Amino acid sequence: MTTWGESHGEALGVVIDGCPAGLPLSDGDIQIELDRRRPGQSALTSQRKEPDKIAILSGVFEGKTLGTPISLMVENADVISKSYEDIKDTYRPGHADFTYDEKYGVRDYRGGGRASARETVGRVAAGAIAKKILALEGVRTTGFVRQVGDIVAEEVDYDQIEKNPVRCPDAKKACEMARLIEKVRSEGDSIGGVVEVVTSGLPTGLGDPVFHKLDADLAASLMSIGGIRGFEVGMGFEVARRRGSEANDVMYMDDDGRLRFRTNNAGGLLGGISNGEDLVVRIAVKPTSSISKTQETVDRQGSPKELQVKGRHDPCLCPRAVPIAEAMVNLVLVDHLLISRLSRIDSLGSG
């Protein structure tokens, strides 16, 4: 997978190489996921109006994948570049303006350019294809907002997730989260949170020690999303406080003769390889850097500036991070699902 595109360029897109041939695929399969990522879905998100309409440019013929590279593109529609002119020489706090200048010596300052969250359009589009392949194997990934500020979801009812604008699986906490988000927005500020992603139906044996353990690849994939500050699997940082006798998951044989674990502290992995239990990962999402509150900063010459970031920004990144995180998890899983077919000599004769 290769993504391309700047926030306010001509278009953004992704090329997916290595998708198996024969998978039924339509625009609709991809559009449905892009619509979950799109701004303007609810009062809690940015009001930037991007239709984000997907075009499949190659790799699909008569409704099926060809096995050749799939090129997907979304044109940029609602581009108001003019509004960025006044900040082209000022470094926005929390943004990558300074580091892009340092690294490349040049930068597309319009809307964050390549560093914009808009870059994830291509990821979500690619993830929609991964999701379809995984579904064929009975693998299903569900993301949701576990925490916003100090409010933590306790109930997890998947049916609730898409029913509230926060994408929180706990209806009661969802209301509290929505109120908190509204409050920080009204104060010209933003708030962080935690997104959790759970995958069920995963076969055992996915993950490639020692450098491509499933959790290592998931960490890289999720940490590559903008604004993510932490990753954990299963019990996560809580393990620091625990003893081995508490943290080890006890095995047993279930009634179907399948080896299972009584607890899932490990989050579905042992030694970086899937163990058949639900895969559970979480990411820490920072509060949106673009806030309308006045902030101190400097310009490219280092002169002090005061800045109020205008534009239409999400007060909390979490709700829209859910489909992105799902996509990144699915992309890693489909890769590992494919290559796991090659780990034993006795399974090669079947191809």
Q: Name which of residues 279 to 308 contact a copy of itself (CB under 8 A).
A: 284-291, 293, 295-298, 302-304
Mask 8-27, x = binds a copy of itself (CB under 8 A)?
-xxxxx-x-xx-xxxx----
Query: What is the total count of residues that contact a copy of itself (CB under 8 A)?
Result: 155
Name the residue nearer to a copy of itself (CB basis): 35 or 231: 231
- Contact status: 345 vs a copy of itself (CB under 8 A): yes
Q: Using alpha carbons only, give the angle 74, 75, 81 rounded to the nearest 5 degrees.
A: 130
Structure tokens at 44: 């809690």
Structure tokens at 339: 């290559």
Within 13 Å, how many C-alpha atoms sit on residue 284's CB side? Answer: 9
Q: Which of residues 174-193 bind a copy of itself (CB under 8 A)?
A: 184, 189-193
Name the residue nearer to a copy of itself (CB basis): 124 or 159: 124
Classify residue 125 by its DSSP letter.
Answer: H
Q: How far is the CB of 162 from a copy of itself (least distance, A)?
A: 22
**CA-to-CA distance for 174 and 152, rounded, in angstroms?**
9
Q: Which of residues 314-343 bind a copy of itself (CB under 8 A)?
A: 337-343
Options 32-40, 43-51, 129-137, 161-169: segment touching a copy of itself (CB under 8 A): 129-137
Q: How far is the CB of 48 from a copy of itself (least distance, A)?
A: 18
Classify residue 231 by its DSSP letter.
Answer: E
Q: Which of residues 146-165 bind a copy of itself (CB under 8 A)?
A: 147-150
CA dihedral 69→74→75→76, nearest 10 degrees, is -130
Contacting residue, 36, 48, 118, 213, with a copy of itself by CB under 8 A:
213
What are the CB-based long-range contacts (under 8 Å, 24+) for 76-79? 76/5, 76/7, 76/8, 76/9, 76/10, 76/11, 76/12, 76/50, 77/49, 77/50, 77/51, 78/48, 78/49, 78/50, 79/8, 79/110, 79/111
Classify residue 248 by its DSSP letter.
Answer: S
Options 35-43, 153-161, 169-177, 266-274: segment touching a copy of itself (CB under 8 A): 266-274
Contacting residue, 85, 102, 155, 157, with a copy of itself by CB under 8 A:
102
- Contact status: 274 vs a copy of itself (CB under 8 A): yes
Q: How far is the CB of 259 from a copy of itself (least distance, A)?
A: 6
Contacting residue, 153, 233, 279, 327, with a copy of itself by CB under 8 A:
233
Classify residue 299 by its DSSP letter.
Answer: B
**CA-to-CA distance for 160 and 139, rounded, in angstroms?**
20
Options 38-46, 130-138, 153-161, 162-170: segment touching a copy of itself (CB under 8 A): 130-138
- Contact status: 134 vs a copy of itself (CB under 8 A): no
Q: Which of residues 34-63 bind a copy of itself (CB under 8 A)?
A: 55-59, 61
- Contact status: 95 vs a copy of itself (CB under 8 A): yes
- Contact status: 82 vs a copy of itself (CB under 8 A): no
Smallest Cα–Cα separation from 127: which of 14, 227, 226, 207? 14
Classify residue 220 by its DSSP letter.
Answer: H
- Contact status: 28 vs a copy of itself (CB under 8 A): no
Neighbouring CB atoms inside 10 A of 58's CB total 13
CA 155: distance to chain centroid? Answer: 22
- Contact status: 255 vs a copy of itself (CB under 8 A): no
CA distances from 190 to 22, 148, 226, 318 (A): 45, 11, 16, 11
Cα diameter, the chain: 70
Q: How far is the CB of 350 from a copy of itself (least distance, A)?
A: 4
Q: How far is the CB of 235 from a copy of itself (least distance, A)?
A: 6
Structure tokens at 118: 């808009």
Options 26-34, 36-44, 46-54, 212-220: segment touching a copy of itself (CB under 8 A): 212-220
